[in-house]
Amino acid sequence: MKWSQAYIPTLRDDPAEAELISHKLLMRAGYIRKVTAGVYNYLPLMQRVLQKITNIVREEMDRSGALEITMPVLHPAEVWQASGRWDVIGREQMRLQDRHNRWLCLGATHEEIVTDLIKGELQSYRQLPKNLYQIQVKFRDEIRPRFGLMRGREFIMKDAYTFDRDEKSQEKSYQNMVDAYFRAFERCGFEIRKVEGDTGAMGGTGAHEFMVIVDTDGGESTIYYCDSCDYAATDEKAGFREHGETSDEEMLEREEVHTPGMKTIEEVTGYLKLPAKKLVKTLLYRADDEVVAALIRGDRNINEVKLVNYLGCNNLEMADEQTVMKLTGADVGFAGPYELKDVRLVVDHEVKGLRNFVTGANKTDYHFLNVNHPRDFKFHETVDLKMAEAGERCPRCENGKLKSDRGIEVGNTFKLGTKYSSSLGANFIDEDGNEKPFIMGSYGIGITRTAQAAVERFNDKDGIIWPKAIAPYGIIIIYTNSSDDKQIELAERLYMELRGKGIEVLLDDRDERAGVKFKDADLIGIPLKVVVGERGMKEGIVEVKIRNTGEAHKVNITEAVEGIIRIFEKVD
Ligand code: ATP
Ligand code: MG
């Protein structure tokens, strides 16, 4: 491609709305343009990158034995109602009505459709296992679409679905996908980390997420991993070994203290001169139709995913102000378990061993000192509700400590069990003649997110640094003086010959200053730059520079094509 004929609208300045480096770079380098929140045009360079990632993913899916299909974007409400997810996914689903007022939605994921597809068609255990996949646009009305392609409302995903007859076979299918993921991401130029994930709204029996580790704000996910064994999990999932301490303090008299306007842990502990560990937070939630108070030590953060999983509810949100006032008789910020009626208490394990702690007094501007159970309140449900923290003990091995990293989730794998096959009545006849529901798995890769993750992971002050396998072009050729016919002639010749060897080349044939061309080449991130310049022409050489290492070589004009290819082959 010649730049003069291409469509690469680079920008001089960072777009104001972009926060992440990768978002800024994709905009500035002319890869993407926003249409509306979470919806983008993919320009020609982006299209090429997406195509490459897609091809790699497709090849690895095919290699693993998965079969490509295309399912519709438009789904009837009925299948989603049948699985029970129409109400669970709720507002994240893009919904519409047709001219007959029938409800439809745009596919956010395809468990329902694929299960409905195979139902009645895969009938015998002899036809199993099966793995069906597609690469397609998905729609999700994310609460906070942001960071460019990282969290879009319309994005491209590879989604695969497996059908097995039993757990053992499912385990193989699952591992097969995990292996394919490692191959695919490695080929894209990434190191990825596989971590245990929460199964969330998907339902099911186990999940992993595949993370690109970054140390920027692009790392929306926090992961915890052990410094001595291979335990690794998302923050939603991670646990740690609890200390199980039980205080042997003597129970003291409960005492009401005036804490005017002090609602936060910091305010209360600062005022009472007590460590946050001595406080117990009482967090009131509405869980579907019920109000739940979650009790957790003041220095801990609550993990709402754990609470949802424990309660098995569809919807969890903080109770609104009116509900809090009605139940506690106090302003928000002064709730406590003492004489708290009509509320289900769910208590974190750690609270069990505490003595003489501080809670809200269910009275505006007051807290209690020396609260104790079971004297002051009783509970029947204890559970782990804590967010993990770096420095805590590994839940799996003896001596390990948890460390944390930030990552971008580019893919995930779920063991679904029979949630969808059972609810949608998708069964097969097993060897013993019995009808059984399929054991299913579901496996996603965010194609567009992966593309941007590459930029977030690989860049420098000058621009993008694409891994060679997914770069829009492998080589860019620049001539520095556009009124020098000799330069143009040589550049054109190299361009033709390298293309003849199957290499994707961009020739910057614009009538621009050399400085502008160099800047743009770095900005758009082409792995190898070939410069045909004044001095080189005199010396009979072209200069070749590798984008990711900065390494520069001189190659004789007489054997330029071979020399360039030799260097190109070594680039990662
Ligand atoms: P997240 O936790 O980031 O919301 P998810 O658990 O909803 O992701 P899945 O439903 O499993 O993700 O989707 C599979 C893959 O699709 C994810 O691993 C991610 O790479 C990608 N993906 C999910 N949501 C988006 C989005 N809004 N924009 C771009 N890619 C996305
Ligand atoms: Mg999501």
Q: Does residue 368 have a pLDDT over 90? A: yes
* Any domain includes 217: no
Q: Which ligand is nearest to the CA of 197?
A: 1
- Per-residue pLDDT band for 86 (boundaries 50, 70, 90) equals very high
Amino acid identity, residue 178?
V
Same domain, 34 and 145: yes
Q: What is the pLDDT of residue 202?
A: 57
Q: Answer whether 334 contacts ligand 1 (Cβ < 6 A).
A: no
| DSSP code string of 332-395 | TT---STT--S-EEEEEHHHHT--SEEEE-SSTTEEEEEE-TTTT-----EE--BPP-TTSBPS
Atom 27 (ligand 1): residue with closest C-alpha? 151
Residue 233: pLDDT over 90: yes
Say yes or no: CB of residue 208 within 6 Å of ligand 1.
no
Residue 222 CA to ligand 1 centre (angstroms): 15
Beta bridge partners of 344: 292
CATH number at residue 26: 3.30.930.10
Q: Is 194 within the bounds of a domain?
A: no
pLDDT in tens, 294-322: 999 999 999 999 999 999 998 899 999 99
Indicate whether residue 449 lines ligand 1 (CB < 6 A).
yes
CATH number at 375 reads 3.90.960.10
What is the residue with the minimal CA distance to atom 13 of ligand 1?
444
Q: Is 39 in the same domain as 129?
A: yes
Percent of the chain at pLDDT exceeding 70: 99
| Residue 376 shares a structural domain with residue 428 | no
Percentage, residues of the chain above pLDDT 90 = 94
Neighbours of 392 (CB within 10 A): 17
Q: What is the pLDDT of residue 263?
A: 87
Burial (CB count within 10 angstroms: exposed 0-12, middle 13-18, buried 19+), residue 451: buried
Give yes or no for residue 474 CB within 6 A of ligand 1.
Answer: no
**CB 151 less than 6 A from any atom of ligand 1:** yes
**Is 152 close to ligand 1, i.e. is its CB under 6 Å away?**
yes
Within a domain: 389: no
Are 181 and 75 part of one and the same domain?
yes
Check whether 168 has a pLDDT greater than 70: yes
Which residue in 191, 113, 182, 145 sits closest to 442, CA to CA?
A: 113
Site to probe by mutation for ligand 1, drawn from 158, 449, 455 as the one with most ligand atoms within 8 Å of Cβ, is: 449
Among protein residues, the one whose CA lies closest to atom 23 of ligand 1: 446
pLDDT-derived band at 450 (thresholds 50, 70, 90) equals: very high
Q: Are residues 377 and 436 in the same domain?
A: no
Does residue 91 sit in the same domain as residue 30? yes
- The backbone region for 148, taken as left when phi is positive above 0, alpha when psi lies in -120 to 50, beta otherwise, is left
Residue 403 lies in a domain: no
Question: Cα of 536 to ligand 1 centre, how many Å?
Answer: 49
CA nearest neighbour of 232 among 240, 457, 414, 220 = 240
User: Which pLDDT belongs to residue 203?
Assistant: 61
User: What is the extent of the structural domain holding 299?
Assistant: 255-383
Give the distance (Å) from ligand 2 centre to CA of residue 42.
22
Q: Which of 305, 301, 314 is nearest to 233 (CA)?
A: 305
pLDDT value, residue 314: 84
Residues 345 and 486 grouped into a single domain: no
pLDDT at residue 242 is higher than 90: no
Kindly state whether residues 170 and 40 are assigned to the same domain: yes
Q: Average pLDDT for residues 350-367, to the nearest whole number? A: 96
pLDDT of 201 over the 60 cut: no
Give distance in angstroms: CA of 451 to centre of ligand 1: 13
Q: How many separate helices (H) and strands (E) can be counted in the chain?
A: 16, 31
User: H or E element: which one contains 25?
Assistant: helix 21-28
Distance CA 10, CA 525 (A): 12
Nearest CA to ligand 1 atom 16: 446
Any idea which ligand is nearest the CA of 449?
Answer: 1
Contact 567 CB / ligand 1 (< 6 Å): no
CATH code where residue 527 lies: 3.40.50.800
- The count of structural domains within the chain is 3
With 90 as the cut, is the pLDDT of residue 245 above it?
A: no
- Report d(CA 328, CA 344) in Å as an integer: 13
Confidence at residue 87, expressed as pLDDT on a 0 to 100 scale: 85
